[in-house]
Amino acid sequence: MNAYEIAAAAAKALDSKLGADIKVLKVSDLTVLTEYFVIASGSSTTQVKALADEVDYALSQQGVKPGHIEGRGDGGWILMDFGPVMVHIFMEQTREYYSLERLWADAEEVEVKL
């Protein structure tokens, strides 16, 4: 799978578990760290963890495994590093506080058919 396909699959997995305000940002022109950010919100720590589990499951079914996952214990912000794609799953108020979309305002928002 290429980076866009991974990002799209992650966004679809998030949508399937009712993730809120899902955005895919192309950041490859702005950083060498990754090509895409996928950002979504959950309304509770339980939902945030369920969203992360669904992304992990959906991508592993396609042979894509995360290199690293941070934040599962706390559940306020889970970061999943798939190399060319980083998935950020936030509690709604945590997302507002960190405002990644504002920090990466120069990034191109990519449409994904959900």
Considering the chain, what is the average pLDDT of its residues? 94
DSSP single-letter state for residue 58: H
Q: Please compute the mean of the pLDDT values over residues 98-112 and round it to a whole number.
A: 93
Considering its fold, how many domains does the chain have in total?
A: 1
Q: Which domain holds residue 97?
A: 3-107
- Whether the predicted model's global pTM rises above the 0.75 cut: yes
Query: Phi and psi at residue 90, in whole multiples of 5°?
Result: -120, 155
**Closest-CA residue to 36 (of 95, 92, 80):** 80
For residue 91, being part of any structural domain is answered with: yes
As a whole number of angstroms, the distance between CA 33 and CA 10 comes to 18
pLDDT at 42 over 80: yes
For residue 65, being part of any structural domain is answered with: yes
For residue 114, being part of any structural domain is answered with: no
Q: Which structure tokens are listed for 53?
A: 């589990």
Q: How confident is the model at residue 96, as a pLDDT?
A: 93
CATH number of the domain where residue 22 is located: 3.30.460.10
Q: How confident is the model at residue 16, as a pLDDT?
A: 96
Q: How confident is the model at residue 114, as a pLDDT?
A: 78
Check if the beta carbon of residue 15 is closer than 8 Å to that of residue 114.
yes
Give residue for tokens 């990002």: 7
| pLDDT tens, residue by residue, 7-23 | 999 999 999 999 999 99
For residue 112, being part of any structural domain is answered with: no
Q: Assign 72 a pLDDT band (cuts: 50, 70, 90).
A: confident
Q: How confident is the model at residue 38, as a pLDDT?
A: 98
Q: At how many degrees (to 10) do helices 45-60 and 3-16 cross?
A: 140
